[in-house]
Each structure stands twice: as structure tokens, then as C-alpha cells.
Amino acid sequence: MLAYIVRRLLLIVPTLIGIMVINFVIVQSAPGGPIEQMLSQLQGTGVDATARIGGTSGGSDLPPQAQQSGGGEQFTGRYRGAQGLDPEFIKQLEQQFGFDKPMHERFLKMMGDYLVFDFGTSYFRDQRVVDLVLDKMPVSISLGLWTTLIVYLISIPLGIRKAVKDGSKFDIWTSGVVIVGYAIPSFLFAVLLIVLFSGGRYLDWFPLRGLTSEGWAFMPWWQQVLDYFWHITLPVVALVIGGFAGLTMLTKNSFMEEINKQYVITARAKGLNERQVLYGHVFRNAMLIVIAGFPSAFISILFTGSLLIEVIFSLDGLGLLGFEAAINRDYPVMFATLYFFTLLGLLMNLAGDLAYVAVDPRIDFESRKT
């Protein structure tokens, strides 16, 4: 097993580099980079993605040449919106954002910094990327952790029950619920929950914005806990409703496949009751794919499943940070979060393989050559 772990860890290196190279080339080659963003803000045509939650896009450090629109030589180069500006000012912007160097040099420097976990400073927030991520992490972890746990607590028992009662009325009507949950995305459920329970039109039971109330730090600990769950209820419910369907059907199909195998028939022939057969023999084999997929499911919900939920409920988490970074072309935030979360995802895939072995020791990855 140790040799397999070492091989997988070594494979992470070229995989991570390949992902970073592809994304770096695509993003750096796309129009509308940080220089264009700065120029559009200078001319008053920029779009501030962070304005909704009180953020600001920088620009306060622009040199005096930013105000010059005529006289002397004017820049007419490759940057959209640069016409009429002093070429020296454009060069200063290129130096500020590192675009005075070739693309390969920028990539090598970036990867060299990432190896020592130096993720740089945001272009438009004037904060270290690490500080930004740590500041947003509690929100996304809260959403991801509670959603994943509740989804598993609902989906696994429901999937087992559907497999045991396959074809019954219970299986039919719960399948209807699963289809609805699978067909309607989480953000539509979020809008519906706001309309029904957050003062949208009917009831006003839950808050609409934020993860905690104003003055939360000064509340007693028990009131802090209640306030936290009061705020997070609707976002988590929206994610759970939109996310439990796939895992429910995966659990059902996995159990259905195992129930029809020969060893189950043999166990029943030996006189074991259905509960002993189900949980003593079928459960371990059927739950392999479900349990082993927990790490990747958590990562998926944590970093990709909650963007619109964070926007709708004004939760300042990692999903919203990544969205704002893409809109503002904040390359340090974009590439640093891509690097960190890709590395984390690759490690979670390895953790999933180890979970297979923990659930069923008969699985032997040592015999694999890759």
C-alpha cells in the first residue's frame, strides 16, 4: 500500500503542473486582463463585482499620468481603452502587474512562489491571497460540511430503503421526490425558500443576508450558536434539496446490484433474516462507492456547488471570491485558489482510494501498476 501511495503522490506533480499550464495559457491569452480592468476603472466604465457586499476594486495607487489624455506621445497599443494615455503610464501598469515579462517567465515565477506557498497579493483588494482565502473559508466550510453531512444522512437510509422496497408505493413516490430534486437546481430552491420563509412574500422566519447577526461577537455562546444556525438554515436546505437526489439513486442502485448476487442468496439459504443479510453482508460491499466518494463530494460542494447560493444569500465565501476574481481578472486570486484547490482535490482522490481499503481490506492497490 505504501508503494501505491508514493506513486499517487508523485503523479500529483505532473497532473498539477499540467492543469496550471493549461489554465494559465487560456486565462493569460484571453482579452480583458487586469490592465484593461484598471483602464476601464480609470475611464469610469469598469464593473465592480464586489460592490454588492461592500468590496472595492482598487486603483487608488495609479500614478499621476492616469489623468493625462493628451499632449505628447499617446499610447495606441494592444490594450483596449489605452488610446490617449501616456506610454510611460502603460509601462508602469505592465510592471505593476508583471506583464513586462514573457508569459513563460511569469509562469515559472508563479510556480516557484507557489512551491513555498507564497501566493502573492490581490491586484484589486490590496490583501494577501492567503488572508483572503482564510477570511472566506469559514463560510464555505460551514456550507460544505453541513450540506455534505445532511445529504449523506438522508440519502443513504433513503437509498437503502428504496432498494429494499423496490417497486413498492414507497419507492415510486420517493422517486418522484428524487426526480424533482434532481431536475431543479439549488439556486431555484433558494429563491423559493426566500419567497416563502425570508420575508419575500409570505413568512419572515429566517434572515436573508449573512452568516451571523450584527453584534454576534458580543452574544453569549449559546445565543451565538442559535444565531449561526438561524442564518445558515435556508442556504443549507437549498443545497441539500438540490444535492441529495444523485447520492440517493447511487445508494439504491449499489444495493440493488449487491442484493441480486449469489452470496446474498446463499446467506438467505443459511437461515439469516433480511436485516442480517442486509447489514451483515450487503452493506459493506454496497457502500464501497458511496463512502469512498465522500471526500470528493465534500470538495465538490465546498468549492463548486455553493457559488449561486452565496450570491443569493449574501454569504461572502470562497465561491463568491472566485467569481469576483474572474470578473475583475484578479490573477493572483484566480491562480492561487486554482492551485490550492486542485492540489486539495487530487489529495482527496487519494483519500478516496484509502477509504476503499478502510471499508473493504480485501481491496489491494499494490497489484496495480499505475
Phi, psi of 252 (to 5 degrees): -60, -50
Mean pLDDT for 290-315 is 71
- Asked whether residue 19 carries a pLDDT value surpassing 70, the answer given is yes
Confidence at residue 63, expressed as pLDDT on a 0 to 100 scale: 47
Mean pLDDT for 276-300 is 73
- Of 338, 246, 349, 360, give the one whose Cα is nearest residue 294: 349
Q: Which of 118-122, 157-161, 210-214 has the lowest mean pLDDT?
A: 210-214
pLDDT grade for 90, boundaries at 50, 70 and 90? low
- CA–CA separation, 65 and 82 (whole Å): 12
- Of 267, 290, 312, 248, give the one whose Cα is nearest residue 52: 312
Return mean pLDDT, the chain: 76
Q: Which of 58-62, 233-237, 247-251, 333-337 has the lowest mean pLDDT?
A: 58-62
Per DSSP, the three-state class of 125 is coil
Q: Percent of the chain beyond pLDDT 70?
A: 75
Cβ neighbours of residue 133 closer than 8 Å, sequence gap 6 or more: 318, 321, 336, 337, 340
Confidence at residue 69, expressed as pLDDT on a 0 to 100 scale: 45
Confidence at residue 56, expressed as pLDDT on a 0 to 100 scale: 43
pLDDT in tens, 198-237: 776 777 788 877 777 788 778 888 888 888 888 888 888 8
- CA–CA separation, 102 and 110 (whole Å): 12
Name the most confidently modeled range: 10-14, 204-208, 281-285. 10-14
Mean pLDDT for 154-180 is 87
Mean pLDDT for 1-14 is 84
- In DSSP terms, which residues pair with 128 in a beta bridge? 121
- Asked whether residue 165 carries a pLDDT value surpassing 60, the answer given is yes
pLDDT in tens, 53-82: 344 444 444 444 444 444 444 444 566 555
- Helix spans in the chain (H): 2-29, 34-42, 87-97, 103-115, 129-164, 169-183, 186-197, 221-259, 262-269, 274-277, 283-286, 288-292, 294-303, 307-312, 318-328, 331-359
pLDDT grade for 85, boundaries at 50, 70 and 90? low
- Asked whether residue 282 carries a pLDDT value surpassing 50, the answer given is yes
- Asked whether residue 287 carries a pLDDT value surpassing 70, the answer given is yes
Confidence at residue 364, expressed as pLDDT on a 0 to 100 scale: 66
Confidence at residue 279, expressed as pLDDT on a 0 to 100 scale: 77
Q: Which three cell numbers stand for residue 217?
A: 461577537
pLDDT grade for 127, boundaries at 50, 70 and 90? confident
Confidence at residue 360, expressed as pLDDT on a 0 to 100 scale: 67
Q: Which three cell numbers stand for residue 69?
A: 489624455
- Asked whether residue 326 carries a pLDDT value surpassing 70, the answer given is yes
Taking only Cα atoms into account, the Rg of the chain, rounded to an integer number of angstroms, comes to 26
- Asked whether residue 313 carries a pLDDT value surpassing 70, the answer given is yes
pLDDT grade for 143, boundaries at 50, 70 and 90? confident
For the chain, the domains span 32-100, 130-367
- In DSSP terms, which residues pair with 198 in a beta bridge? 204
Chain mean position to CA 52: 20
Amino acid of residue 269: A
Confidence at residue 60, expressed as pLDDT on a 0 to 100 scale: 41
CATH number given to 130-367: 1.10.3720.10
Mean pLDDT for 283-299 is 71
Confidence at residue 55, expressed as pLDDT on a 0 to 100 scale: 41
Mean pLDDT for 7-24 is 89
Mean pLDDT for 341-347 is 83
Cell 469598469, residue?
Answer: 46
Return the number of other C-beta atoms located less than 10 Å from residue 111's C-beta: 16
Mean pLDDT for 35-57 is 54
Confidence at residue 51, expressed as pLDDT on a 0 to 100 scale: 44
- CA–CA separation, 307 and 130 (whole Å): 20
- Of 290, 289, 272, give the one whose Cα is nearest residue 281: 272
Phi, psi of 201 (to 5 degrees): -155, -35
